[in-house]
Amino acid sequence: MATRQPMPVQDPAERRKNFNEVALGYTEEQAIAEAERCLQCKDPKCVQGCPVNIDISAFIANIAEHDFDAAIRTIKLTNALPAVCGRVCPQEVQCEEYCVLAKKGQPIAIGRLERFAADYESAKGVVSPQKAKSTGKHVAVVGSGPAGLTAAADLAKAGHSVTIFESLHEPGGVLTYGIPEFRLPKAIVRQEVEYIKQLGVDIKVDYIIGRIKTLDELRKEFDAVFLGTGAGLPNFMGIEGENFNGVYSANEFLTRVNLMKAFRFPDYDTPIKRGKKVIVVGGGNVAMDAARCALRLGADEVSIVYRRGEDELPARREEIENAKEEGIIFRLLTNPVRILGDDKMKVKGVECIRMELGEPDASGRRKPLAVKGSEHEIEADTVIIAIGTSPNPIIFTGSKGLKSTPKGTIVVDDSAMSSIPGVCAGGDVVTGAATVISAMGAGKLAAQTINEYLNK
């Protein structure tokens, strides 16, 4: 059996100094060779693992036949953001996990092939989609992250007139402000957003639902509403010293770097503190992104501080490996107890305690317990807190009857409908912080539900 084509990447020693994309993408030859490994199963299992139901074996067959135009057409039948998905989906626990080749060897590199097809089209010039025949119905989509963009694309394809309301000055949500340039170039996000606009979707930026207009008002003006407002509210640890200078939420740090391009200060006006010794608290993808950004801003030493062990790190394996290659230090089974500052309230270190893993908790994960007397100090001038996010409550301002959980997430039924008829919700605002692709899957489901609701 042929082995999986490796992904060409930027050399770690080089890439830790720049914000250019790490993974360089397959050449045509590599893509074809990889596509030829696909067994073209009669009953393909891979598609079960894809939340947006791409006809995976079909587009891979197109690539194997050198028909790249057909490949991207196939993908875009169900997925409006292939260049994004091909880059940031955790394929190892999605489509590729179901690939039959995974049982004996390496699964087909489905994500890399999807990316190849999308990048091929982008290099050639994206073909404008055909606009659907109008149904005369108007749908509002709140939030332009992966859930909102996917819902909007599907609703527009169904012929509805779609308006997206976005609070920031650029669409994309976490794709724009959260995921760094070196994993997902912003030019690619812009291009995918452009494609969605070409489907006839109107995007209003600088527009905050809950401030300019309430959800109740929106519901009166539109035939249906989709809420994809995400989980953008950063959680802090509630420990001493967390408001000292030099302590950032990962959201603030990444927003400054990615959305405001602080890595190009002073050409761009937004400043950022370029720390020399940086500690990132947390073990998810956001923590990896923040750590790798801090490194690229010129830090001498960046450590990840995580209270569980290596096996429990929630980040994608590939990102952990990338971070290690770039020289990020992993301080596992370690938890901050307070942040230390100088007389000017500036961070000078973090007092941490060592942890050990106890019995599994309700979620099945082993509960970390502090080891008494193991307190120790780690020197730092910058601390980035990446321990998760919660839904932003602004959407609930003036939305009577929108049911939420104690965690602040919106309650929906199996079809993504909220407690208000005609108002669907999906993505992080329903699940709490999760993945791009699960948000897209939720956007798809909601679009289908809204279609059925409007056709009644």
Partner 1 sequence: MSYRIIEKRDMVHQVHLMRVLAPDVAKAAKPGQFVIIRIDEQSERIPLTIADYNVAEGSVTIIFQEMGKTTKRLAALRAQDELEDFVGPLGTPSEIEKLGTVVLVGGGVGVAPVYPQARAYKAAGNKVISIIGARSENLLILEEEMQAASDELHICTDDGTKGHHGFVTDVLQKMLQNGEHVDRVVAIGPPIMMRAVTGVTRPFGVQTIVSLNPIMIDGTGMCGGCRVSVGGETRFACVDGPEFDGHKVDFNLLMSRLAVYRDEESSSLKKHECKCEGGK
Positions that interact with partner 1 (CB under 8 A): 167-169, 204-208, 211-213, 232-234, 236, 238, 242-243, 245-246, 248-249, 251-252, 255-256, 260, 265-271, 273, 344-346, 392-394
Q: Nearest approach, Cβ of 345 to partner 1 (angstroms)?
A: 4
Q: What are phi and psi of 70, to 5 degrees?
A: -65, -35
**113 exposed, middle or buried (CB, 10 Å; 0-12, 13-18, 19+)?**
buried
DSSP character for 179?
S
Closer CB to partner 1, 90 or 230, in the complex? 230
The closest of 350, 277, 289 to 314, measured between CA atoms, is 289
Closer CB to partner 1, 194 or 206, in the complex? 206
Q: Nearest approach, Cβ of 302 to partner 1 (angstroms)?
A: 20
Q: Nearest approach, Cβ of 240 to partner 1 (angstroms)?
A: 11
Closer CB to partner 1, 126 or 394, in the complex? 394
Q: Show Cβ contacts of residue 302 under 8 Å, excluding neighbours closer than 6 positions.
A: 278, 279, 280, 291, 292, 294, 295, 327, 328, 329
**241 exposed, middle or buried (CB, 10 Å; 0-12, 13-18, 19+)?**
buried
Closer CB to partner 1, 18 or 268, in the complex? 268
Closer CB to partner 1, 235 or 448, in the complex? 235
- CA angle at 93 for the pair 88 and 94, rounded to the nearest 5°: 75
Place of tokens 């007139």: 161
Q: Nearest approach, Cβ of 203 to partner 1 (angstroms)?
A: 10
Q: Nearest approach, Cβ of 116 to partner 1 (angstroms)?
A: 31
Closer CB to partner 1, 89 or 439, in the complex? 439
Closer CB to partner 1, 61 or 260, in the complex? 260
Q: Nearest approach, Cβ of 170 to partner 1 (angstroms)?
A: 10
Cis preceding-peptide flag for 266 (omega within 30 of 0)? yes
Q: Nearest approach, Cβ of 181 to partner 1 (angstroms)?
A: 16
Q: What are phi and psi of 106, to 5 degrees?
A: -100, 135
Give the residues across from 355 on adjacent strands. Answer: 370
